[in-house]
Every structure is written in structure tokens, then in C-alpha cells.
Amino acid sequence: MNISNYFYWDEVFSTEEIKNINSLLNKHRKKREASYLKSKPAKKTSTVYPIKIEFLKENLKKIFLKIIEANQNHYGYDIYSNNFNDETELHYNIYKKGEEYEWHIDAEVFKNSDIKLTVLINISDSSFSGGDFNLLDSNKPTLVSELNKPGSMIIFNSFFLHRVNPVTKGTRKTLTIFVKGPAFK
């Protein structure tokens, strides 16, 4: 469903699928995101684990189809065919009490390509409070409340400013998929 500057899907994953995904993520996560890769100057206090798609490929097939369809029908970006190959890295984000990610955009470090779309999937396996996701829409924050529900997914233009407010209770977990393509001209 389209809301303003993003699209969302409810219940792309069941509770059982979320448990399975978290189990796989915990099994295959190796190292945290290097501190030099964290956005500057945006404050980012969550823990991020880069993880290769190969470990979740079977679980994410239906997600890839939704991303491709949303791009074809609504965004029309030239995206790479290898966005979902085994070596592509996702981000497994864990936000505990007090952790946040201030206003930022998602951008490619190497300018021969750009991140066109950002996909966030709520894979929280326990309840949490706070951690609301906002997009900046016409100079005012838009609350994306749909992302608060485990199993939900959103997609939006990566160049839109967005943030995760501090978690006030529990742990918020998300998967981030960056959909890349040739550099914007």
C-alpha cells in the first residue's frame, strides 16, 4: 500500500518466520559494522551486523519479488540485477533501550553507483516501545507507524531523510536491504 512517500506491506513474515530468520541471523552474524562505516554526522547508536543474503535467501525470496514489483510499478529506477545475489550484504539492526539513528540518508560511498531504494523489515521477536521510524516529508517528520508491527516491510527512496527515534523499552530488530543501481545523473 502506498502512503505518501513510501510503500508498506503488513505481515510479510509470520511470527514463526521471524523466529527462524532471527535464529539464522544470530548463527551467521560475524562482526559488527566497522565504526568508520557509520554515518557522519548522524548519531547512530544501534548495533549493526552486515550479513550476506546467502544465509537468508530462501526466507527472503518473496521479499525480493515485492521489491522488484514496487520498483517496476512505482519508482522506475535502473537497478542492478545482482542486488539479491549471495554476496550482497544486508544490515541486521538491533536497537536496545536508548539507542537511535538520527536524521540521515542512505548513500553509496563509491560514486559509480547509488543506493536507489531502502527496504526495512521489522523482525522484532519481542515487544518494544519507542524506536519509531520517521521520514522527512515537506520539512516535517512523517511517522511510519506501519513499521512498528513485527513482520511488516516498507520501501522508500534512499535519498529521503529518515531516522529511528530512541527505543524506550525492549529491543527493536530490523533488516535493511539497499537496492542499488547506476549513479544518478
Rg over alpha carbons for the chain, rounded to the nearest Å, is 15
Distances (CA, A) of 8 to 36, 142, 153, 165, 170: 31, 14, 5, 19, 24
Q: What is the pLDDT of residues 161-171, one digit of tens each?
A: 999 999 999 99
pLDDT of residue 34: 54
CA distance 13 to 63: 9
Distances (CA, A) of 96 to 1, 23, 167: 29, 18, 6
User: Per residue of the chain (185 residues), what is the pLDDT tens digit?
Assistant: 555 689 999 999 999 999 999 999 999 887 776 554 445 567 889 999 999 999 999 999 999 999 999 999 999 999 999 999 999 999 999 999 999 999 999 998 777 899 999 999 999 999 999 999 999 977 889 999 999 999 999 999 999 999 999 999 999 999 999 999 999 88
Q: What is the pLDDT of residues 136-150, one digit of tens each?
A: 977 889 999 999 999
User: What is the fold, at CATH topology level, of the domain defined by 2-182?
Assistant: Jelly Rolls (2.60.120)
Distances (CA, A) of 151 to 123, 140, 147, 154: 6, 27, 8, 10
